[in-house]
Structure 1
Amino acid sequence: MAKAIFETDISHFLLQALQWSKGFDVVCLFQSNGFQDQYSRVDSLLAIGATAECYAKEGDAFAALEDFKSRYPEQVIPGFLSYDLKNEVEQIATSHPNPLEFPDAYFFVPAITIAFSKWSVEITADNPAAIFEEIRTREVSTEKNTYTGMITPRMDRTQYFSAFGHIQRHIQQGDIYEANLCQEFYDENAVLSDPEALYMELNTVSPTPFSSFFKIRDHYIISASPERFLAKRGKTLISQPIKGTAPRGETAKQDQKLRDNLANNPKEIAENVMIVDLVRNDLTRSAVPGTVKVTEKLGIYTFKHVHQMISTVSCEMDPQLSDVEVIKNTFPAGSMTGAPKISAMKLCDQYETSRRGVYSGAIGYFAPSGDFDFNVVIRTLLYNKANGYLSFHTGSAITIDADPAFEFAECYTKASAILKALGQIIK
């Protein structure tokens, strides 16, 4: 394969490239939307077509990924891990049905990759110049996605309050300290006219640093995730758990007040601290002893729809471990489980009314440099075009002091960007 760099109008070329990619069975796009920190490496990366694929089911998914990755050490390898792989990691089970029918893990070697920087694109393919010309002359459709169907919450207010009460009693009994209770919004007969256009609409409504689009034939992931699960930079591992959410205000004064209230909210701070401790513990299994540290505590970050409380935990990676072992040691993200982790996951399975699937898992890529970067799959719509099943989940943390009405409202705040992109309102 060859590489070549071309100067172009980046924003327009990305639209052309995504339009052009519709002719391929497998497509993956990562966008950072201008959110850059010291760990950022990618502005936008588009992977098109598959020369090799790894489909894996719970039971041997991490071993399959290890083998697949070892066969392509010089390639970018994008993919995702389903939350259901917790059953493989911790020997627990999930009984909820799986109408979305996504693989538990999927990774591929792209036929074409397009890396976007400020003024240019770098295309890696058999004939980069020919591909650049094909994309450059592609007409961009101005048609927006149309959604035919109706979103229904899997839990109504009464059902959510009941599940909330059960989990809070477990906290009072000392079984757990915190649990991330999630609820599904779904449509069993959905039709999306243009999933790629819907992704671009969601990315406009809610631009986030770990935005992604994934297409595997009839299966689509449309994600506006703001959260990094785990990254590797040289010898350093980085996790940035989010715990603590507040809506945006209608005026600058109200917005600042909501931001300040989040920063000083004892319940939100307690949530974040508990999950930071969990992540520190998870990273210890993959770290050189004594290197795990909290490099940022309780940072407040503002996104288009919400304010978030984010902490950063890092360590020096144990050189005797592989990248896949490190990910397995920390999977799934502690911000989506609760603490203690295994007990919280079991209780969430018991009181939630749907399978999370890809939601709460991770989407990302392994780079030829040896680095990797994976998000937490939140604020994400999942769609099986073949059977018409469309789904997204939202969740919030339950602690001893949590209020069910507040947490229920927070779930709808987190759902607002997806609902807006779909043109839906749920009261």
Structure 2
Amino acid sequence: MVTFALMRSKYIYRINNFDRFAKNLAYEVENTDVGILLRGSDRFTIPETNFTSRFQLAAAIGISSACIPSSNHFSELDEFLSAKKDWVFGYFAYDLKNQLEHLQSNNPDGIGIPDMFFFSPRILILVSSGVAEFQYFKNEVSKDEIDDLIGRLEIEYDLAEGNLPFVFQSHFTYSDYIKTVNDIKRHIARGDVYEMNMCQEFFAADVRIIPNKIFNKLYDRSPTPFGAFLRVNDKFLMCASPERYLRRDGAWLFSQPIKGTAPRMATQEADSIEIERLKSDPKERAENVMIVDLVRNDLSRIAKRGSVKVNELCGIYTFPQVHQMISTVSCELAHGLRPTDPFRATFPMGSMTGVPKVRAMELIEHFERSKRGLYSGAVGYFMPNGDFDFNVVIRSLLYNRSNGYLSFTVGSAITFKSEPEAEYKECLVKAKAILETLNAQIDAAE
């Protein structure tokens, strides 16, 4: 099949106020049926390479064409990508696992987001070094529409949200959670798994929020390399993720799993002590190394023989709320792959499942009490040349505007050495930015 890709027109614009421009873009995303804003807080590097973030910000507003799979999601996306040869944005939800392995998802789901959604945008905006490049198809978008959009992006709006007195509930009481972690440890002792990512959802029902303002507050409080604000009809994602899932640069594929977390401290001296503690903690290092081995194994399925390597093992990176232990694994891709083969081989990511992966996912379905949906999935983009970059959806709020259901999910890696009380505290550390953003509390029922 011969395909012909239409060329996008381009318009270059120097931004007067980047922060205002970015926040107003979130407003524009909320006020279209489908849109996405990707923000990165710095030029996030990949060890042992010269690759950095491709842009400060990318936004896709409105649909030119869309891939909304009905059955064989990955094959339908392959066909869409091969035909379009364009910028394509979207997400993979966690429960796509059921198409890759003999698994199921039967837990309650308050959000109800589709398992996969990708689209080619009417208007694409890429920002680097304070300069915005607007791309569009002339048969769909006029230059006057671009000028009007630029005018709205430079206006000073009242962006204050005010305090929102939310109280979140969990499907677990504290004692339930402690018992569940101990039950998982018994599976580990029997050799069923070596490590399992155990998550719990915190939710509030019948609430009304303005999602773009919540995302902007969350990102101000927790600027991260892989922030994302997504709208797909009545479903919203507000994400401040520090974790990269997969990035492709030509023949090279990179994964940067996170395993190992420590809280930020009040003073620089105490912070330095906490970094050293995390760096040398045998449990945290063991968690990270196990996931690195899993990622290496996953990548070997689509790699050129002998090309899988660990660029960095157990590096410590500091973010506004936490210190994280991050490793980088890479490979050279084999020839003849379909666009989605790197995802078929590695999804869901090892950092959000466990070792061995399939058995861990079976136990996740058994022990967790809500469907993960987009949480622990991936949001990102494909470029016209086939390169891509996707995050891991963590440190995120999900919202269903139709039913007022608002939720966030946090988790931790359970190993034989895990102390249930410490794992619960780690979950609260990861939830800190979200709770502060919403001026919210957790109903810590016993």
Q: Which residue of 2 aligns with 1:133?
A: 147
- Equivalent residue for 1:350, pick from 352, 366, 370: 366
Change (3 A) 1:190 1:56: farther
CA contact (8 A) 2:30 2:211 kept: no
Change (3 A) 1:336 1:270: same
Q: Which runs of 5+ in 2 are unaligned?
A: 1-7, 46-50
Residues 362-403 of structure 1: CA deviation (Å, up to 9, x unaligned): 111101122101111111111000011111100000111111
Is 1:12 aligned to 2:28, yes or no?
no
CA distance in 1, matches of 2:13, 2:148: 13
Q: Partner letter of residue 72 of structure 1?
A: K
Q: Any residues of structure 2 matched to 1:280-295 within 5 Å, and which?
A: 280-295=296-311
CA distance in 2, matches of 1:216, 1:151: 24
CA distance in 2, matches of 1:324, 1:349: 25
Q: Partner letter of residue 67 of structure 2?
A: C
Which secondary structure does the structure 2 equivalent of 1:14 belong to? helix
| TM-score normalised by structure 1 residue count | 0.96
Q: Any residues of structure 2 matched to 1:250-399 within 5 Å, and which?
A: 250-399=266-415
> What is the deviation of 1:129?
4.5
Q: Which residue of 1 aligns with 2:44?
A: 36
CA distance in 2, matches of 1:273, 1:156: 31
CA distance in 1, matches of 2:272, 2:28: 42
> What is the deviation of 1:15?
2.8
CA contact (8 A) 1:114 1:122 kept: yes
Change (3 A) 1:21 1:243: closer
- Equivalent residue for 1:108, pick from 104, 111, 119: 119
> What is the deviation of 1:19?
2.9
CA contact (8 A) 1:16 1:136 kept: no
CA distance in 2, matches of 1:261, 1:18: 38
| TM-score normalised by structure 2 residue count | 0.92
CA distance in 1, matches of 2:190, 2:69: 38
CA contact (8 A) 1:35 1:208 kept: no
Is 1:84 aligned to 2:95, yes or no?
yes
Which secondary structure does the structure 2 equivalent of 1:237 belong to? strand
Q: Any residues of structure 2 matched to 1:126-165 within 5 Å, and which?
A: 126=138, 129-138=143-152, 139-145=155-161, 147=164, 149-165=166-182
Which secondary structure does the structure 1 equivalent of 2:398 belong to? strand
CA distance in 1, matches of 2:52, 2:223: 18
CA distance in 1, matches of 2:375, 2:26: 23
CA distance in 1, matches of 2:421, 2:27: 42
> What is the deviation of 1:132?
4.3
Q: Which residue of 1 aligns with 2:222?
A: 206
Change (3 A) 1:425 1:150: closer
CA distance in 2, matches of 1:400, 1:149: 35
CA distance in 2, matches of 1:15, 1:375: 20
> What is the deviation of 1:262?
0.3
Q: Partner letter of residue 230 of structure 1?
A: L
CA contact (8 A) 2:108 2:369 kept: no
Q: Partner letter of residue 133 of structure 1?
A: D
Q: Which runs of 5+ in 1 are unaligned?
A: none
CA contact (8 A) 1:66 1:324 kept: yes
Q: Relative to structure 2, which stretch is displaced further, 179-188 or 60-69?
A: 60-69
Q: Partner letter of residue 385 of structure 1?
A: R
Q: Partner letter of residue 107 of structure 2?
A: H
> What is the deviation of 1:135?
3.0
Q: Any residues of structure 2 matched to 1:411-426 within 5 Å, and which?
A: 411-426=427-442
Q: Partner letter of residue 137 of structure 1?
A: G
> What is the deviation of 1:69?
1.4
CA distance in 2, matches of 1:259, 1:347: 32
Aligned residues: 424
